[in-house]
Amino acid sequence: MNMLSPIRREEAAKTAPASASTQPPRRWRRALQVGLPLAILVAAGYGLTHREGPANAAPSLPVVTVAAPLVREITEWDDYVGRFEASRSVEVRPRVSGQLTGIHFTDGQVVRKGQLLFTIDPRPFNAALAEAQADAASARSNLALARTNLARANRLIADDAISQSDVDQLNAEVRAATAALAAAEARVRSRSLDVEFTRVRAPIAGRISDRRVDPGNLVAAGEGAGTLLTTINALDPIYFSFDSSEALFLKAQRERQAGQTTGQQVEVRLQDESDYNWKGRVDFTDNAINDHSGTLRVRAVIDNPDYFLTPGMFGNMRLAQGGQVSALLVPDAAVRTDQARKQVFVVAKDGTVAARPVETGPLVAGLRVIRSGLTPQDRVIVQGIQFAQPGGKVTPKPTTIRPKADPAGTQVGEGQSPAASQATLAG
């Protein structure tokens, strides 16, 4: 039995029950422990979603660099490989047989026309000349005697002191003596030529080869079978021969029909040269196309005043296709290949990207020639093309196309043949 007084029980009721009633039940405490952090995370995610929502709804457009095609005057060329040939080549052979007694040149030197090269012993030929001259003097004397006899007979025939048959006989003797004298004089000229041929001279100007026969050897005359003494090549001008297509032949024929006879211009560079330093023109095309290769042999003539070029050397030649033409140029990186087609991306005024099929030409100064498919007013994507898609939109950033320095003046395009088309900037 509780013996506490009513006053103590009232004070106890105020303290103990009050502390127990303020603590929530156990299941509510667990809900608070789990739910409160979850509510915080949901609220944070909601706020993050609302902060990033405007960026996803309106993304920024990719920025690309665009430029109008560069318009320049160019000269287009066709490229070929060929070899140099002597414009004239002579095999020096003796025209009389005998002993070689002298050589009057240095192997490999440049000789002029008419320069003395070899000497053959002239003594046998001088003796033969003296004999022929003596025969000619005898024939001349016989002719003089025959004429004197004929003149005497003509005076006697007026007095009937000689018969007509005797006069006819004397006329025949005069004619025979005249013929004998002509033959004797011809032998004199022949023997004089033999003496002259003992001094072998250069028939043309050019670079001479080495001597093939030394002094003291006997040399034989004869066409084709005579002893080869040396050879001479005329090198100024020099020829450059190459095989070309039927199209070049037709073009040359059209030019002849139009009265253009100056010849197509060519430029040649050697294997160790980066620029085309040698200038010339086409002066000959063969009279038939090769049945097996379908090509035509063509020859160009090139000035070679210093005799630097030598027959047998190889060279790369470019042949002018015509005069200067106006062309559109874009960076080669701006041209894309879609299977077998070439195309570029252009940007409209509203930023829409479109693909334009184009026909490309050669590279010139680092830029690709566009033959068709573009206009000078188009805006071509030259940088950032990987961010553009046909039908999409971009933000264009304008720039200007400029040619690059190209020491060789031209480059061969991708997929082009050895006779590829090339070009150079005019001026």
Higher pLDDT: 225 or 190? It is: 190
Q: Which of 402, 425, 413 is nearest to 327 (CA)?
A: 425
Q: How confident is the model at residue 10 (pLDDT cuts 50, 70, 90)?
A: low
Inside any domain, residue 186:
yes
Range of the domain at 240: 232-320
Q: Are residues 173 and 111 in the same domain?
A: no
pLDDT of residue 339: 78
Q: Are residues 329 and 372 in the same domain?
A: yes
Q: Are residues 328 and 421 in the same domain?
A: yes
Residue 238 pLDDT greater than 50, yes or no: yes
- Tell me whether strands 63-67 and 395-398 are parallel, antiparallel or unpaired: parallel
Where do we find the tokens 């100024």? Answer: 236
Residues in the chain: 427
Poorest-confidence range of 16-30, 133-147, 390-404?
16-30
Higher pLDDT: 197 or 324? It is: 197
Residue 51 pLDDT greater than 90, yes or no: no
Q: Are residues 267 and 141 in the same domain?
A: no
Q: Are residues 243 and 203 in the same domain?
A: no
Residue ending a domain, choose from 320, 352, 385: 320
**Tens digits of residue pLDDT in 176-186:** 999 999 999 99
pLDDT of residue 107: 94
Residue 76 pLDDT greater than 70, yes or no: yes
Q: Is 119 helix (H, G, I), strand (E, B) or coil?
A: strand
Q: Are residues 208 and 106 in the same domain?
A: yes
CB 116 within 8 Å of CB 208: no
Q: How confident is the model at residue 282 (pLDDT cuts 50, 70, 90)?
A: confident
Inside any domain, residue 31:
no
Q: Are residues 272 and 259 in the same domain?
A: yes
Inside any domain, residue 385:
yes
AA identity, residue 177: A
Q: Are residues 98 and 223 in the same domain?
A: yes
Residue 415 pLDDT greater than 70, yes or no: no
Beta-carbon contacts of 72 under 8 Å, excluding residues fewer than 6 positions away, are 326, 327, 329, 403, 425, 426
98: left (phi over 0), alpha (psi -120 to 50) or beta: left
**Tens digits of residue pLDDT in 311-320:** 999 999 888 7
Inside any domain, residue 56:
no
| Number of domains observed in the structure of the chain | 4
Q: Are residues 271 and 351 in the same domain?
A: no
Q: Are residues 115 and 169 in the same domain?
A: no
Question: What number is the average pLDDT over the span 298-327?
Answer: 86
Residue ending a domain, choose from 272, 297, 320: 320
CB 312 within 8 Å of CB 84: yes
- What's 243's domain CATH number? 2.40.30.170
Q: How confident is the model at residue 262 (pLDDT cuts 50, 70, 90)?
A: low
User: Tokens for 209?
Assistant: 């080869």
pLDDT of residue 418: 39
Where do we find the tokens 């063969």? Answer: 286
**Tens digits of residue pLDDT in 86-108:** 999 999 999 999 999 999 999 99
Cα gap 369→330, rounded to integer Å: 7
Residue 263 pLDDT greater than 90, yes or no: no
Q: Are residues 224 and 163 in the same domain?
A: no
pLDDT of residue 9: 52
CB 184 within 8 Å of CB 138: yes
Cα gap 299→284, rounded to integer Å: 5
Inside any domain, residue 29:
no
